[in-house]
């Protein structure tokens, strides 16, 4: 978007309000933002008149937040847009995998259409960047990748994306190495994987192959790891080691990593230090039916943590509404983060780390030169937005309105 315009009367956070040494609220002020070439070019107090050579879009005191990042979804798996179906009970992950193969091969709504349906929900909820896993396995080859790429094409100019080539049926187990390699050539930028122990049956070979593919394809890694307690920890430690050896620090993530929720606090502290050192990120969908990684502890240890919605009405789960802010609110609720600052500090888990106020309560966002990626919400501050899942009025991507309206 090349248009230059004034986004006027935007509510921005300016600091915390302190009473008796305690944070009692968030201070905000209205500002006008000059949007130029998709960036924030100027920020002026709302009392100042705006120059009239540019058009004006009045935000009417809506609160601006950094736009959201959906760090874990499966655009090719959702059944949104097709008929309702509950989850068919399955005795094991292998049974579930078979059911999924059957259902997805028979579903009449094309993958692209279902993916677009979900992308539309994401866009309206404030998301401007999506990391999606896309299944690759012999029966579908790269078909899902093609369909998801087309869906993302439809949303060009509304959000950015990255694709994980995800061998859902096991990198080794389904012999999908070639397919993953090919997917990396055709638009995927991360190597996926799932439970190197339980699904592939050989964690060492499975992890080695992932790392090899990533290095050869100049790609990152995002591993789905459901394996619990000691088995999961063993796998994470080995992946961290291989990450350092391959020089992939900062490019590797473990999704779910349930095992981190199964260990003692002391062990979790050690794992946090290890993950931070190896530059391995943790992505959680904030499940409520089992223990999950101690997000607050990991943040304290310097681990990059992000939240993703994961399943949105698919063969694995009938739940999920595709609202990443809802997930952040759930994380706060589960973690007992209920005061003003703790609530506000939940936001960076869904914004790729960006937050309006930094740890000291100083303004950290938006700054002149930042991409004009923001979501305008009906709230008085970040804390309220997280706790109340406040209504999103409009999503802005690179200065253009991607969803909603400000009229």
Q: List interacting residues with another protein (CB under 8 A).
A: 22, 24-25, 80-81, 83-89, 288-289, 313, 317-319, 321, 329-330, 332-334, 336, 338-340, 343, 379-381, 383-384, 387-389
Nearest approach, Cβ of residue 346 and another protein (Å): 11
CA 392 – CA 388 distance, rounded (Å): 11
Nearest approach, Cβ of residue 197 and another protein (Å): 23
CB nearer to another protein: give 307 or 387: 387
Nearest approach, Cβ of residue 335 and another protein (Å): 8
* DSSP element (H, E) containing 385: helix 382-388
CB nearer to another protein: give 42 or 61: 61
CB nearer to another protein: give 91 or 369: 91
CB nearer to another protein: give 213 or 379: 379
CB nearer to another protein: give 6 or 337: 337
CB nearer to another protein: give 205 or 338: 338
CB nearer to another protein: give 160 or 317: 317
| Radius of gyration over every alpha carbon of the chain, rounded to an integer in angstroms | 22
Which residues face 374 on adjacent strands? 66, 396
CB nearer to another protein: give 82 or 229: 82
Q: What burial class does residue 333 get, using C-beta atoms within 10 Å of its C-beta: 0-12 exposed, 13-18 middle, 19+ buried? A: middle
CB nearer to another protein: give 163 or 393: 393
CB nearer to another protein: give 238 or 291: 291
Nearest approach, Cβ of residue 350 and another protein (Å): 16
Nearest approach, Cβ of residue 86 and another protein (Å): 4
DSSP track, 46-61: TTSPPPTTSEEEE-TT
> Do residues 384 and 390 lie in contact, with contact meaning Cβ atoms separated by under 8 Å?
yes
Closest CA to 406 of 37, 117, 10: 10
Nearest approach, Cβ of residue 80 and another protein (Å): 6
> Do residues 193 and 221 lie in contact, with contact meaning Cβ atoms separated by under 8 Å?
yes
Kindly report the backbone phi and psi dihedral angles of residue 56, in degrees, each rounded to the nearest multiple of 5, phi listed first: -125, 135
Nearest approach, Cβ of residue 147 and another protein (Å): 20
84 DSSP 8-state letter: -
Closest CA to 298 of 313, 312, 285, 280: 280
Question: In which order are the strands placed within the sheet that holds 160-166?
Answer: 68-73, 127-135, 160-166, 190-194, 220-225, 252-256, 280-284, 305-307
CB contact set of 218 (below 8 Å; sequence gap of 6+): none
CB contact set of 57 (below 8 Å; sequence gap of 6+): 5, 6, 7, 8, 406
CB nearer to another protein: give 221 or 332: 332
CA 13 – CA 371 distance, rounded (Å): 18
Nearest approach, Cβ of residue 313 and another protein (Å): 7
Nearest approach, Cβ of residue 100 and another protein (Å): 14
> Do residues 63 and 379 lie in contact, with contact meaning Cβ atoms separated by under 8 Å?
yes
CA 256 – CA 279 distance, rounded (Å): 17
Nearest approach, Cβ of residue 334 and another protein (Å): 5
Q: Three-state DSSP class for 194? A: strand
CA 337 – CA 346 distance, rounded (Å): 8
CA 382 – CA 364 distance, rounded (Å): 13
Nearest approach, Cβ of residue 384 and another protein (Å): 4
């Amino acid at each position: 978007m090349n248009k230059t315009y004034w986004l006027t009367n935007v509510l921005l956070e300016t600091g915390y309000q302190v009473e008796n040494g305690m944070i009692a609220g968030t201070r905000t002020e209205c500002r006008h933002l000059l949007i130029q070439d998709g960036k924030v070019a100027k920020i002026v107090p709302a009392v100042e008149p705006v120059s009239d050579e540019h058009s004006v879009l009045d935000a009417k005191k809506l609160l601006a937040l950094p736009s959201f990042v959906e760090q874990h979804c499966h655009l090719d798996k959702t059944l949104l847009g097709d008929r309702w179906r509950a989850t068919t009970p399955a005795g094991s992950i292998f049974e579930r995998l078979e059911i999924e193969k059957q259902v997805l091969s028979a579903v009449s709504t094309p993958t692209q259409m279902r993916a677009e349906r979900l992308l539309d929900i994401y866009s309206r909820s404030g998301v401007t960047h999506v990391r999606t896993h896309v299944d690759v396995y012999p029966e579908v080859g790269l078909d899902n990748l093609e369909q998801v790429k087309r869906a993302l094409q439809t949303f060009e100019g509304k959000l950015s994306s990255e694709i994980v080539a995800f061998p859902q049926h096991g990198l080794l187990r389904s012999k999908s190495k070639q397919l993953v390699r090919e997917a990396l050539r055709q638009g995927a930028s991360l190597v996926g994987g799932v439970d190197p122990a339980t699904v592939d049956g050989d964690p060492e070979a499975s992890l080695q192959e992932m790392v090899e593919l990533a290095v050869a394809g100049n790609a990152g890694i995002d591993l789905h790891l459901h394996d619990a307690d000691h088995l999961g920890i063993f796998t994470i430690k080995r992946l961290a080691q291989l990450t350092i050896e391959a020089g992939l620090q900062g490019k590797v993530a473990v999704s779910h990593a349930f095992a981190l929720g199964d260990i003692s606090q002391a062990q979790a502290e050690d794992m946090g230090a290890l993950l931070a050192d190896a530059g391995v990120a943790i992505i959680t969908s904030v499940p409520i039916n089992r223990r999950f990684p101690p997000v607050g502890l990991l943040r304290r240890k310097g681990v990059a943590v992000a939240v993703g919605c994961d399943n949105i009405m698919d063969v694995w789960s009938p739940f999920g509404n595709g609202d990443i802010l809802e997930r952040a609110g759930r994380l706060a609720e589960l973690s007992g983060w209920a005061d003003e600052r703790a609530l506000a500090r939940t936001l960076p888990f869904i914004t790729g780390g960006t937050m309006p106020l930094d740890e000291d309560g100083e303004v950290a966002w938006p700054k002149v030169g930042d991409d004009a990626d923001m979501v305008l919400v009906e709230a008085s501050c970040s804390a309220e937005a997280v706790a109340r899942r406040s209504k999103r009025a409009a999503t802005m991507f690179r200065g253009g309105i991607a969803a909603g309206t400000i009229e």
